Amino acid sequence: MTHADDPLADPEATAARIPGLLHVPATARNREPIRQVLAEFLPSEPCSVLEVASGSGEQGLWIARGLPQVTWTPSEATPEGVAAVAAWRALLPALHARFLAPVLLDAAAPPWPGPSVDAVFVSNLTHISPWPTTLGLMKGAAARVKPGGLLLIYGPFNEGGRFTGPGNVAFDADLKRRHPEWGLRDREAVEAAAAAEGFEATGRRMMPADNRVLAFRRRCGGVTAART
Ligand SMILES: C[S@@+](CC[C@H](N)C(=O)[O-])C[C@H]1O[C@@H](n2cnc3c(N)ncnc32)[C@H](O)[C@@H]1O
């Protein structure tokens, strides 16, 4: 596939020529840094990833395409959201064997039906949803991630109860204007919620624009798997 006929090469241009295709500009900036962090944490042998809250789906497609060992299942909370992901997926038929059809999944309503996976990945959900959605994410992931598997969460987080930069102060205020139960979460509160469901913090990475990836590993019968 050349640059000219690759739908992911310039997603804005792709969306401009396909009426109704959902495009989130931030994904074009975030997708490669996130892919690199996932490459670091995920196993190098064949593995499965369930993506919660895939949004448009274009970010997941980019990440999955660049991680050839991964079979990726995207998901969204509503039928309209699932259709939006399916529209992007339809543009990349060569990936269909590894980027599966999107499924309907409400993070706030675990357990989520489906097979066990090696990892659950989610980006930009914890602050753009009420706190019970994050609690649901932990419970749902605990029931789907294999013992020793991963939960990888991307987004902005506070540290020690403080904003990590001025951009996040303004972002949090804007989120709360949009919905009183939205807003940046404390990393420590997210870690405590994960721990309550059997996930141990196994690493975190600083990302552009004051974002983070928080990585958790599901304990195996009380003992965290050796791989870090
Ligand atoms: C800011 S967007 C992030 C989308 C994508 N992950 C990204 O980073 O571009 C938040 C997404 O979360 C989804 N969402 C909100 N509440 C959800 C829930 N309870 N379960 C699953 N997805 C949810 C929304 O439909 C939306 O697509």
Tell me the pLDDT tens digit for each residue of 32-89: 999 999 999 999 999 999 999 999 999 999 999 999 999 999 999 999 999 999 999 9
Cis peptide bond N-terminal to 19, omega within 30: no
pLDDT category at 227 given cuts 50, 70, 90 is very low
Q: Does 180 fall in a domain?
A: yes
Dump pLDDT digits (tens) for 143-193. Answer: 999 999 999 999 999 999 999 999 999 999 999 999 999 999 999 999 999
Residues whose beta carbon lies within 6 Å of some atom of ligand 1: 24, 27, 52-55, 59, 76-77, 81, 105-108, 123-125, 128-129, 133
**122 Cβ neighbours under 8 A, 6+ residues apart:** 51, 52, 53, 107, 137, 152, 153, 154
- Tell me, yes or no, whether 177 lies in a domain: yes
Domain for residue 3, yes or no? no
Chain-centre distance for alpha carbon 110: 17
* Number of domains making up the chain: 1
Contact 87, 55 (CB under 8 A): no
| Pairwise CA distance, residues 222 & 180, whole Å | 37
Rounded to whole angstroms, the Cα distance separating 154 from 173 reads 20
The per-residue DSSP string of 99-117 comes to BPPPEE--TTSPPPPS--E
Tell me: pLDDT of 224 over 60.
no
CATH number at 174 reads 3.40.50.150
**Entry pTM:** 0.96
In the predicted structure, residue 120 carries a pLDDT above the cut 70: yes
**How many Cα atoms are found within 13 Å in the side-chain-facing hemisphere of 75?**
21
CA of 133 to the centre of ligand 1 (A): 10
26 part of a folded domain = yes
The answer to whether residue 53 sits within a structural domain is yes
Domain of 52 in residue numbering reads as 11-222
